[in-house]
Amino acid sequence: QKEVEQNSGPLSVPEGAIASLNCTYSDRVSQSFFWYRQYSGKSPELIMSIYSNGDKEDGRFTAQLNKASQYVSLLIRDSQPSDSATYLCALVTGGGNKLTFGTGTQLKVEL
Amino acid sequence: DTEVTQTPKHLVMGMTNKKSLKCEQHMGHRAMYWYKQKAKKPPELMFVYSYEKLSINESVPSRFSPECPNSSLLNLHLHALQPEDSALYLCASSQDMDSYQPQHFGDGTRLSIL
């Protein structure tokens, strides 16, 4: 079983809809969770960080964490074509700040 | 625009060349990272420096040699690379190595080995 799993997609949503991106992880002691957005040919850009169970909202983005079920999700409200990118789930397990990435989900927002 | 600056943006080199990638940040961060990313794959950690000391080496071949001259600069020296080393090389930094500190990435150097 992979440490961090994401559906590779592509996930297609119409403009204005809610995009829901999911990530599951295997290590129960994971303590920090991050979502990065990566446009084709560009570097990862930090979107959200979440550390405790529940929801965290920032503008059109909401991160949700459920440690008991070992999943973290990212909701994008009012999706725009500019949101089309690959979204990487990343987490830190154990000591230090070593990130483990999922393989990413490609999101396509269609006009 | 990112606050982590990487140079050069693109680099083409032969297998016998020696070159260096540079990374600079002025956010006062004390942890800096090198990642390698192949097409359609997630970034893979190579090295971590914490307070200018090498903290993590992910069993990277010796043809890659990191250096941290001061708290703002991180270099990656390249020598005798192989074609499979062609990739996007990403530098990142964080406040320190506390697991709650998010990492911020530079724009990367796209490396091609002929």
Tens digits of residue pLDDT in B95-107? 998 888 999 999 9
CA distance B79 to B67: 14
Closest chain B residue to A89, measured at CA: B42
Would the CB atoms of A51 and B107 count as touching at under 8 Å?
no
Instruction: Quote the CA–CA distance of B94 and B55 in Å, as a whole number.
Output: 14
pLDDT of A1 reads 62
Could you tell me how far CA A79 lies from the centroid of its own chain?
A: 15
Predicted confidence (pLDDT) per residue in B42-64, tens digit: 999 999 999 999 999 999 999 99
Once rounded to an integer, what is the mean pLDDT over residues A41-50? 96
A103 vs B42, B94, B98: nearest CB: B42
Distance from CA of B98 to the nearest CA of A (A): 6
In chain B, which residues touch A (CB < 8 A)? Answer: 2, 31, 41-43, 45, 48, 55-56, 88, 90, 94, 96-108
pLDDT band at A2 (very low <50, low <70, confident <90, very high): low
DSSP letter assigned to residue A70: T
Q: How far apart are CA A94 and CA B99, in angstroms?
A: 8
CB contact under 8 A, A96 and B97: yes
Beta strands in B1-114 (DSSP E): 4-7, 10-13, 18-25, 31-37, 44-50, 53-57, 64-70, 73-79, 87-94, 104-105, 109-113
Q: Nearest chain B residue to A102 by CA: give it.
A: B42
Say whether B83 sits in a helix, a strand or coil.
helix
Largest CA distance in chain A: 44
- Pick from B91, B61, B64, B58: which is nearest to B79 by CA? B64
| Distances from the Cα of B69 to the Cα of A97, B35, B53, B73, angstroms | 21, 18, 10, 6
